[in-house]
Structure 1
Amino acid sequence: MNKNDLVTQVAAASGLTKADAERAIEATFSSITDSLRDGEAVRLIGFGTFAVTNRQATEGRNPRTGEPLKIPAKRLAKFSAGKQLKEAVSG
Structure 2
Amino acid sequence: MFVVTDSAAEFYKSEMELNQGDCLRLFVRYAGSGDSGGFSLGVMSDRPATDDFKKEVGGITYFVKPGDQWFVDRMKLDYDAKCGGVLCDLPSMA
Please state which structure has a larger fraction of its residues in strand: 2
What is the TM-score of this pair, normalised by structure 2? Answer: 0.28
Please state which structure has a larger fraction of its residues in helix: 1
By relative contact order (CA 8 Å, sep 6+), the higher-ranking structure is 2
Q: Larger Rg: 1 or 2? A: 1
